[in-house]
Structure 1
Amino acid sequence: MTTATVSPMSGTERYLVIGGAGFLGSYIAQALVDRGEKYVAVYDLNKPGESDIIDGVQYFCGDILNEQQLLACLKSTSATVVFHTVSPVHGLQESVYYRINVEGTRTILLACEKSPVKAFVFTSSASVVSTGQNISGLNEKQVTIPDGKYEAYTYTKGLAEKMSLEHNDPYGMKVAALRPCGMIGPRDRQAMWRLAETYQKNQHKYQMGDNTNLVDYSYVGNVADAHLLAADRLAGSASSSNAVAGQVFFITDGKPRPYWDFPRMAFKLLGDDGKGITTLPYVLCVFMAFLSEVAAKLFGGPPSFPMFIVKLATLEQYFNIDKARTLLGYEPRVSFEEGVRMMVEWWKKQGEREHIEMLESKRRLRR
């Protein structure tokens, strides 16, 4: 695996990746080890599976809402650079997002301020600026986090981003926030699992909207590179840290494409011939989502076809990454096409087996 450029400070910092057993977090930990860092630790609710354990990484299990566990980990690792990558998946109850994104981030920040942490990189999301309207190529100054709540995940992520930046201290812990777009790559246990299930159920011949809306994607390793670049500058000289501290950065592959290009490419690699696609009109999708959300309110639980998914598939959402290129020196290494290919290859070799084992485990628990 090609990694980010070796930092001139390599070997002098001590790194802690909170959420490092997750998708992006594991790539950050791997990139640090690959470039020769000797002190890399992960703090996560669960230890990763055997196949995902990274040699040279120290693993700590704990809850981000438990300040004492965090403080113990920070003390044990003597971490000077912290990455906060924890993020719940979409489709959960609102209370989960407030607890993890808001309360969890607050607890992490307080623990870091009581420790010798000098650089803190928060993983936000490009979706924090979403309002249900098209966004076409805007930069960090042209679009801001809305005051109102569009959707629970994005709203609470936005609150956590603001909170993190408020803890930026010119004389203490320097903070930067990165806003990645939708990430793809091996070990993706969310989007890839949904795509594979859609394909296996023969539902892949349908699409919402006419596929003219452009969106951003990025290979997860590229996003990990951006995190290392931000951390290096925050922990570096006064001039480099001052230019980045307190800043937010959109992170994408810099090449927006129609929304359905990603699933169509994945379906093709899974064996689809690409023919016979049925386009569901936007108005019909909105009506179906409305009925789904009404049913959810009547009978409880999350909607099976939320309006958020319709918006996600039909809105134009892509961003300008010139700021990341200029201040971080960020440049995507791996192309979208290569990222999708590697992701599907991983699924065929390992991911599908994991998915089957997970479903079997759930069935046994229900018996």
Structure 2
Amino acid sequence: MAVDDRFAELNPRTCVVLGGRGFLGRSLVLRLLKLGKYIVRIADSTQSFELDPSERESLLSHAISSGRASYFNVDVRDKTQIVKAIEGSSAVFYLDPTDLNTNDFCSCYLIIVQGAKNVINACRECRVKRLIYNSSADVVFDGSHDIHSGDESLACPSKFEKILSDFKAQAEALILFANDIDGLLTCALRPSNIFGPGDSELVPLLVKLAKSGLGKFIIGNGDNMSDFTFSENVSYAHICAEEALDLRNAIVAGKAFFITNLVPMKFWEFVSLISEGLGYQRPLTKIPARMAWYVFLLFKWTHEKLASGSSNFSELAHYIQLASCTRTFNCVAAQRNIGYSPVVTLEDGVALTIESFSHLASDLPLARYSDFTEESKAHKLLGGGKVADILLWRDEKTTFKCFLALIVLFYWFCLGGNTFTSSAAKLLLLVTVILYGYGFLPSNIFGFSVEMMSFPSQISDTVAKDSVATIVYLWSLGVQNIRTLAQGEEWSMFFKVTVSLYFLKIVAQSFTVMIGMALAFAFTAIFFYEQYESEIDGSVKVLFNILKEIMALLTRNLPDSVSLLLCNHETFQPDDRPAGVKQTR
């Protein structure tokens, strides 16, 4: 990487990147070094500075060796360490540190909020001229309400669903409030959904969900829009803000600005691009957002009650909120006041991100080229018709209507407290009244046209004769069977009827429970099997192999006479016979 000599100066400015070894910090450090007009101090909480293999023989390594870049170990909870790092600098870029433990809220508060206070006080003490804070678009998001082209006039919500967003909002307010005190000019940037090479949150989470099988699901209707921001564009926005503050632009000082790639897109389309680019299945199955949230709460409660150790549930909860809400932002203020515009397009950013995460690609060599629209085994077993489409939730509205209708019938016949005959009579009476009332409806009601039902004008003689013949045949067959049973001569008939009636008695005792279980199984278990077809089939195969090994082990310990008998009946292959047993002819 060559330094851009067009911006090189004889007296470069010294700047500090707090959090310079984090995901965004590395991108900002490289961009500052490329400009050639900054001496960069990299400050982070990492104890020792070590270059990654990809950074060796890079612009950063050459800058370290030449003195254009240096490293400081800084804990923002200790103001003296901050002072040591920023003393003599003219600008400070304050980004998130690398060791932020999101499960420890007390530590997060000390680092984010108290750390912001320490950075402000250190900047004032060292007479730093400019402080740019990397905030987040989450500071105006309450976790439930959509944001359509939101601008800087949006107020922070009174209650945050994500505690880290609350801390970020507090830190942002402190930094903006410190503007123009002791000569310090401040501003904050609010990027939305940052992604890029080295991403430690969004892309790894998508890969984790894809590997677990949960990446197949679309939360909500899948039409919600979101703004995404490539990391290099955020870095460029920080430099634009620093240059605007250097000109003492009053419109910029003390203000916050939204930063995006300026190209809103469907959230699930972005997820699909990342998933398919890394060889995983794109999300196809839609589930209601409320259902996903309830499942998450149940899983969280179960984990807290039964499991030991901590799990980052806040990250997953925030993902569900982002995945089901629209969040787009207006960046006109950033374009007009700090001169920001994306330097990397969204398409190029996605391609660069996928390339950098190739080590997380699917292990299946054909996954990238698989045809995920092929019919599943469950769909084929159900016949591939309308029943399969309903039970596999191909159309959520149709499936829900059918499920609701079956629930009503289940309650009507099984839970209503009436006999089957009276329930059927009441249902027929209700249908008759509804149909008769429907016939009185006018063709137009308040401007809405009412379509009348179309019925065949007459039933053909062939259909009528076939229907009557079938009824007569069934009646005659029943009478004949009863007559044969009454003569007391057919023992086979007697046993068949007796066993059938006894079985019917057993079934009738738990008829309601069985019907309810069948309904739940039909609309849930089959759908679940389709989503985890390969996993379930693999587990069954493993279980079958284990049982086979157990049976083989048992047969080796059987007496020789029993083993010889089994071998004569060819129950086992010759290789499975115990030692000492001769093959008989």
Task: Answer yes or no: same fold by TM over 0.5.
Answer: yes
Greater percentage in strand: 1
Residue 265 (structure 2) pairs with residue 254 (structure 1): no
Q: Per-residue deviation at 1:116?
A: 2.5
User: How has the CA–CA distance of structure 1 residues 321 and 85 changed in structure 2, closer, same or farther, with 3 Å as cutoff?
Assistant: same
Measured in 2, the distance between the counterparts of 1:290 and 1:198 equals: 17
Shift of 1:10: 8.6
Task: Report the Cα distance in structure 2 between the residues aligned to 1:157 and 1:174, rounded to whole angstroms.
Answer: 19
Aligned with 2:32: secondary structure?
helix
TM-score by length of structure 1 reads 0.86
Q: Give the corresponding residue for 1:232.
A: 243
Is the 8 Å Cα contact of residues 90 and 153 (structure 1) preserved in structure 2?
no
- Does structure 2 conserve the Cα–Cα contact (< 8 Å) formed by 1:293 and 1:303? no
Distance change in 2, residues 1:302/1:203 (3 Å): closer
Distance in 2, Cα, partners of 1:179 & 1:4: 27
Specify the alignment match of 1:33 in structure 2. Answer: 33
Give how far 1:119 is off: 0.3
**Does 2:281 match 1:283?**
no
Kindly provide the amino acid, as one letter, of the partner of residue 252 in structure 1.
T
* Structure 2: gaps (5+ residues): 64-68, 362-585
- What whole-Å deviation, never above 9, does each CA across 1:299-328 have from its counterpart, x for those lacking one? 674564854332121011111000000001
Q: Give the match for residue 359 of structure 1.
A: none
The CA deviation string for residues 249-308 of structure 1, in whole angstroms up to 9 with x for no partner, is 00001111111122210111112464x722222121121122234346646745648543
Instruction: Answer with 1 or 2: which has the greater Rg.
Output: 2
Mapped to 2, the partners of 1:220 and 1:193 lie a distance apart of: 15
Write the mapping of 1:185-334 to structure 2, written as runs, cut at 5 A.
Answer: 185-236=196-247, 238=248, 240=249, 242-272=250-280, 274=282, 277-295=284-302, 298=305, 301-302=310-311, 304=313, 306-334=316-344
Counterpart amino acid of 2:284?
I
Contact 2:102 2:108 in 1 (8 A): no
Q: Is the 8 A contact 1:11 1:36 kept in 2?
A: no
The alignment partner of 1:83 has SS state of: strand
- Three-state SS of the structure 2 residue aligned to 1:150 is coil
Q: 1:62 aligns with which of 57, 71, 74?
A: 74
Deviation at 1:104, TM superposition (A): 1.1
Q: Relative to 1, partners in 2 of residues 1:266 and 1:48: Cα closer, same or farther, differing over 3 Å?
A: farther
Match of 1:168 in 2: 179
Show structure 1 runs of 5+ residues with no match: 353-367
User: Aligned pair in 2 of structure 1 residues 90, 314: CA closer, same or farther (>3 Å)?
Assistant: farther
Structure 1 counterpart SS, 2:295 = helix
Q: CA deviation at 1:37?
A: 2.4
Question: What SS is found at the alignment partner of 2:148?
Answer: strand
1:107-146 maps to which residues of 2 (within 5 A)? Answer: 107-132=118-143, 133-141=145-153, 143-146=154-157
Map of 2:345 onto structure 1: 335
Query: 1:91–1:302: 8 Å Cα contact kept in structure 2?
Result: no
Cα distance in 2 between the residues matched to 1:196 and 1:220: 19
Distance in 1 (alpha carbons) for counterparts of 2:296 and 2:265: 25
Corresponding residue for residue 42 of structure 1: 42
Q: Which has the higher contact order (CA 8 A, sep 6+)?
A: 1
Describe the SS at the equivalent of 1:86: coil
Moved more, 300-309 or 263-272: 300-309
Contact 2:188 2:255 in 1 (8 A): yes
CA contact (8 A) 1:174 1:234 kept: yes
Aligned residue runs from structure 1 range 353-364, under 5 A: none
What residue identity is the alignment partner of 2:251? A
Please state how far the C-alpha of 1:38 moved relative to its aligned partner: 4.1
1:118-161 per-position Cα deviation (integer Å, ceiling 9, x unaligned): 000011100001112111102101x1112333320110100000
Specify the SS of the correspondent of 2:357: helix
- The 3 A distance-change label for structure 1 pair 303 and 189 is closer
Whose helix fraction is larger, Structure 1's or Structure 2's?
Answer: 2
Checking the alignment, whether the CA contact within 8 Å between 2:77 and 2:118 is kept in structure 1 is yes
TM-score by length of 2: 0.55
When the two structures are aligned, how many residues end up with a matched partner? 344
* Contact kept? 1:186, 1:343, Cα under 8 Å: yes
Alignment-mate amino acid for residue 214 of structure 1? M
CA RMSD of aligned residues (A): 2.6
Say if 2:7 and 2:37, in contact at 8 Å, map to a contact too: no
Instruction: For 1:213 and 1:4, locate their aligned partners in 2 and report how far apart those are by CA, in whole Å.
Output: 40
Q: Deviations over 1:220-271 (max 9, x none)?
A: 10111110000011122x4x3x221001100001111111122210111112
Q: What is aligned with 1:356?
A: none
CA gap 1:94/1:10 in 2 versus in 1, 3 angstroms: farther
| Contact preservation (8 Å) 2:19, 2:94 | yes
Evaluate the alpha carbon distance shift between residue 171 and residue 101 of structure 1 in structure 2; reply closer, same or farther with a 3 A threshold: closer
The Cα shift of 1:93 comes to 3.1
Equivalent residue letter for 2:298: L
Partner AA of 1:264 in structure 2: S
Cα displacement string for residues 77-120 of structure 1 (whole angstroms, at most 9, x for unaligned residues): x2110000015768523223212110111111111111021000
**Cα 1:86–1:192 shift into 2, 3 Å:** same
1:337 aligns to what SS in structure 2? helix
277-286 or 125-134: bigger deviation = 277-286
Aligned-partner Cα distance in 2 for 1:148–1:123: 21
For 1:324 and 1:23, the matched residues in 2 are separated by: 22
